[in-house]
Amino acid sequence: KEQELDSKDAIILHQFSRPTNGVPSLSPFCLKMETYLRMADLPYQNYFDGKLSPQGKMPWIEYNHKKVSGTEFIIDFLEEKLGVNLNKHLGPHERAVSRAVTKMVEEHFYWTLAYCQWVENLHETQKMVSLFGPFSDLLKWILCHLTKGIVKREMYGHGIGRFSEEEMYTLMEKDMRTLAGLLGDKKYIMGPTVSTVDATVFGHLAQAMWTLPGTRPERLIKGELINLAMYCERIRRKFWPEWHHDDDNTLYESEESSEASKTYSPLQDFSFYSRTETFDEEGNSISQTPDTDYTGHSLFDSDVEMDEYRDHEQCK
């Protein structure tokens, strides 16, 4: 039975179910959107119903009974309604570069990732899809092969699917090298402070980093383009403190890593998420039922504001 949602003054994020390998999403756009909400420190409630938006999109949000789909339109909507803006520190030229990078990632790099995920590496992706029940294995097989057909058809319509596999991987490598060159030794894509483009880039690179074992993009990001791996690890530890991966090690750590950042709790299907912890009068963490506003899971505050404060102090 479909649950009726009340989105009054609450962001309801509709997205695909969590995969089984500990990564928040196999969809670059779902991961982008949820990461953006965490970067902007906007409390939200996940809804894993699998229901597409009226435009056939995923993810999509509801806010004050208004439905918005398409990550770009969602971000514009939240900026207008809630006054958040991760790009306020960027100048006109930087904003233009940011948009150009976003379009390269979402309209070009995305398709080569989709090919790797849902065509060439389908047998591994199928293991990560989360379905339960007596016929779950059969349903996963059907779902993944249907998705494979859809991806191949859409890639052919896009044009990139008309090239050979080797040519597509050549295009993927060029995109990844472009991102690595743009990032350089900076903390984030546009400099020392996080911006909207980081949610986009992370949502896509995280797929190569953690969902494509043994593939060419994984070998590239963890080998020659190591600065991209460090970038992904930096964002994961900062904005996803509960996301723990089996292959965690010190290879991608930076000087900012602390012992606290190495303490993880399992990634769960949070009914409600906010990076600000809630405590009762005695200082104990509040634990409530999934139907209430908070889950009781301890998630430390982001250091975004502290970074800005330190940068400001150094300029004095």
Contacts of 203 by beta carbon, 8 Å cutoff, 6+ apart: 28, 29, 30, 31, 32, 33, 35
- Beta-bridge partners for 190: none
The residue-averaged pLDDT of 2-21 equals 78
State the greatest distance between any 2 C-alpha atoms of the chain, in Å, as a whole number: 64
Q: How far apart are the first and last CA of the chain?
A: 59
Q: For residue 200, which of 315, 316, 31 has the smallest C-alpha distance?
A: 31
Q: Given a cut of 80, is residue 182 above it in pLDDT? A: yes
- Report the distance separating Cα 259 and Cα 257, nearest Å: 7
Does 134 score more than 80 pLDDT? no
pLDDT of residue 105: 97
User: Rounded CA gap, 83 and 76, in Å?
Assistant: 10
Q: Which of 3-7, 150-154, 282-286 has the lowest mean pLDDT?
A: 282-286
39 or 21, higher pLDDT:
39
pLDDT at 35: 97
Q: Which two tokens stand for residue 129?
A: 């899809």
So what's the architecture of 11-244 in CATH?
Up-down Bundle (1.20)
Q: What global pTM score does this model have?
A: 0.79
* Residue extents of the structural domains in the chain: 11-244
Residue 120 in 3-state DSSP?
helix
Count Cα atoms within 13 angstroms, Cβ side, for 2. 6
pLDDT digits (tens, 9 = 90+) for 246-294: 555 445 554 444 444 444 445 545 445 555 443 333 334 333 323 223 3
Q: Alpha-carbon distance 92 to 69, whole Å?
A: 26
Reported as a single tens digit per residue, the pLDDT across 154-173 is: 999 999 999 999 999 999 99
For residue 263, the model assigns a pLDDT of: 43
